Structure 1
């Protein structure tokens, strides 16, 4: 299976690298996608190599979408290709995991209305305005969607992301 991990400059380092390595442990082929090829730099100075641009992604090649948090989602949500990929995953009911500010992409893609979610406190009002049912919990699972608040919730986020992946593999 292949997973697509969204990232952009300003990503929260732990929220990109933790799911990347956790999925590698499950022998998942993880590809980092962003607006352009090259390196993206995290909030704390770590960098990651971009494997594929949003424009070059064929979402049917991937079984899981992860949207990292930090300041990257503010940039990613402005990319029409990233939004199109996100809509595809929801339309096809494929697993999506978004953490921290990652749900900003879900808001801009128009896929969060009526869904249960959580996020970083700074975008709770945005989620509510977009029609989400918001919970202040470590992790919220709503069908194919897993969301978490931030780096301090990564263990719960990873656990539920892997559970969704397991269900996807069995279907």
Structure 2
């Protein structure tokens, strides 16, 4: 079973959830499960969308893939000891991705120490103040840890997860379902960027 958990909290960014949740859920395998987790039974997004969680936050400890969303609520979580304690992550055995300001949470947990990253332009000062060296890229990968900068960069992070979990060929088929019609460059740009990041960390594609 491959278990993928998307971490939500109050005031999360709507698009950060919807894009990866939709695309990852298109994988049709009996041993593939995408779930939404949080500290509560429901959480409300920045735009007011009420989302029901499938499991509580502590379940991330048993997940194979963990995605941390961005949004104004991510900054609140930085000062929430219970949230940080429940978010038990292990980059040795998990793929861990942070979208936009979700990178602030990875930094607080010590998962970006000695690593470069990317983030939303609205979190650059905070990341730099924490001592993180930022790259101007949609996706930055170090082994099993990835950060994505900009809401639509969640497409790159989602592709990275699919590359690592089901392979490039199957990932391409999934993206073909959502790609803009007639835009042949859409997939090529994503594939090139993600492949370059994976190769830079010497992690082979399945």
The TM-score normalised by the length of structure 1 is 0.83
Aligned length: 166
Once the two structures are TM-superposed, the CA of residue 94 in structure 1 deviates from its matched residue by 1.5
Kindly report structure 1 stretches of 4+ aligned residues shifted beyond 6 Å: none
Once the two structures are TM-superposed, the CA of residue 155 in structure 1 deviates from its matched residue by 2.2
Residues 67 and 96, structure 2, Cα contact 8 Å, conserved in 1: yes
Structure 1: state its 5+ residue gaps: none
State the alpha-carbon separation in 1 of the partners of residues 59 and 80 from structure 2: 13
| Secondary structure class of the residue paired with 2:89 | helix
- Structure 1 93/8 Cα, relative in aligned 2: closer, same or farther at 3 Å? same
Residues 12 and 70, structure 1, Cα contact 8 Å, conserved in 2: yes
Q: Which has the higher contact order (CA 8 A, sep 6+)?
A: 1
- Residue in 2 that maps onto 1:126: 126
Residues 95 and 165, structure 1, Cα contact 8 Å, conserved in 2: no
State the alpha-carbon separation in 2 of the partners of residues 57 and 150 from structure 1: 27
Greater mean deviation of Cα atoms: 5-14 or 77-86: 77-86
State the alpha-carbon separation in 2 of the partners of residues 113 and 85 from structure 1: 20
- Residue in 1 that maps onto 2:34: 30
The TM-score normalised by the length of structure 2 is 0.70
| 1:63 partnered with 2:64 | yes
Compare the two structures and name the one with the higher strand fraction: 1
- Residue in 1 that maps onto 2:81: 80
| Secondary structure class of the residue paired with 1:157 | helix
Larger Rg: 2
- Structure 1 75/166 Cα, relative in aligned 2: closer, same or farther at 3 Å? farther
Greater mean deviation of Cα atoms: 8-17 or 41-50: 41-50
Residues 7 and 72, structure 1, Cα contact 8 Å, conserved in 2: no
| Secondary structure class of the residue paired with 2:137 | coil
